[in-house]
Amino acid sequence: MPRYRLTLEYDGGPYNGFQAQAEQPSVQSSLERAVHAFCGETIRVHAAGRTDSGVHATGQTIHIDLEKAWPAETVRSALNAHLRGEPIVVLDAAVAPADWHARFSATGRRYLYRILNRSAPPGLDHGRVWHVKTPLDADAMHQAAQVLVGLHDFTTFRDVHCQSKSPVKTLDVARVTRVGDEVRLVFEARSFLHRQVRSMTGTLCEVGLGRWTAAEVAAALAARDRTACGPVAPPQGLYLTGVDYGNAG
């Protein structure tokens, strides 16, 4: 039974997250329907990360197992044909080793959060950025973000419904830059807690607005208390931009 590794791009706006849910539109359900339409097989799609409702991806990785061996390019083209009309695209397809897993073989994940920081609301990017009218100090946000880098107990930035066994994670990169009217936050780690990126982004935005200091971000982290977190950023500005696999892929 051949296994295929697929790289996806999608707009999460129309979906109730990646994971299939009864009577709710999801990225996973759409992909599984496309596979069935292509080859008649009923399969389960496995993803590197289960993005929340409204969250986008430019580099999501999934795997599927098919009974019949098809050329990888045929799989990519057929799925895109059956996904026509939906904002989901298979960017790349390749045959993967039988023991390779989209989620468990991953050694790193990268997220981008986009904040449109201007008085005028988004036009072309409506639903794809968080609009913050008040000027943000991106340099102050970046400096504050550095207190989050490293091995920490991230309970403060963990959703109460998070199912991870431990709140301890290592954040490898936290970078904030301004590009024109956009403030962009990049986070890299092996794995993240549920809504960790949005929680950190919302807190760092408070720094950019001058309401918090870097020391207060450090104190919130040290508190290991969800109530110490700042406001949680909305989902529409968040993108899963890539998944790393090291020697495993």
Question: Which residue numbers are catalytic?
Answer: 52
Q: CA-CA distance, 30 to 209, in Å (whole number)?
A: 39
Residue 190, phi then psi, degrees to nearest 5: -65, -45
Evaluate whether 67 touches 96 at the Cβ level (below 8 Å): no
Q: CA-CA distance, 167 to 199, in Å (whole number)?
A: 14
DSSP code, position 156? G
Q: Are strands 130-131 and 108-116 parallel, antiparallel or unpaired?
A: parallel
Contacts of 66 (CB under 8 A, 6+ apart): 1, 2, 4, 35, 39, 41, 43, 75
Q: Are strands 108-116 and 182-189 parallel, antiparallel or unpaired?
A: antiparallel
Classify burial at 227, counting beta carbons within 10 Å of its beta carbon; exposed 0-12, middle 13-18, buried 19 or more: exposed
Region of 182 please: left (phi>0), alpha (psi -120 to 50) or beta: beta
Contacts of 107 (CB under 8 A, 6+ apart): 190, 244, 245, 246, 248
